[in-house]
Amino acid sequence: METNPNISEETEILALKALGWVLEDSERAQRLLALTGLDPRDLRSGLEDPAMLTSLLGFLANHEPDLLACAEAIDVEPARLAAAAEYLNNPGDFS
């Protein structure tokens, strides 16, 4: 997979791991789709799209129980997931 130059490699990897975690549970996946307005086609085609990854990480950042559970499952600090969401929202602030 080629990395989108507008997304840091670490952010992209975290987002993809988080997406995998979200999709492991059908109820959580349905909630993601309902709250973000994404559809399965968006998820498949948008793996390198900053807007889709922003929606995904924002979904987690806005629901602390999921953020904490996801961070534990993918073995990262919750703050790193929240920082990745912030980076995608404001990449110029991290230059």
**pLDDT computed for residue 2 by the predictor:** 46
pLDDT (mean) for 62-88: 91
Tokens of 9: 């490699």
**pLDDT computed for residue 87 by the predictor:** 82
Closest CA to 52 of 2, 10, 7: 7
Burial class for 86, CB neighbours closer than 10 Å (0-12, 13-18, 19+): middle
pLDDT (mean) for 24-35: 93
Is residue 3 domain-resident? no
Is residue 63 domain-resident? yes
Residue 49: which domain range? Answer: 9-94
Is residue 1 domain-resident? no
Closest CA to 57 of 22, 32, 36, 81: 81
Quote the CA–CA distance of 71 and 51 in Å, as a whole number: 21
Please state the domain count of the chain: 1
Quote the CA–CA distance of 19 and 53 in Å, as a whole number: 9
- The model carries a pTM of 0.81
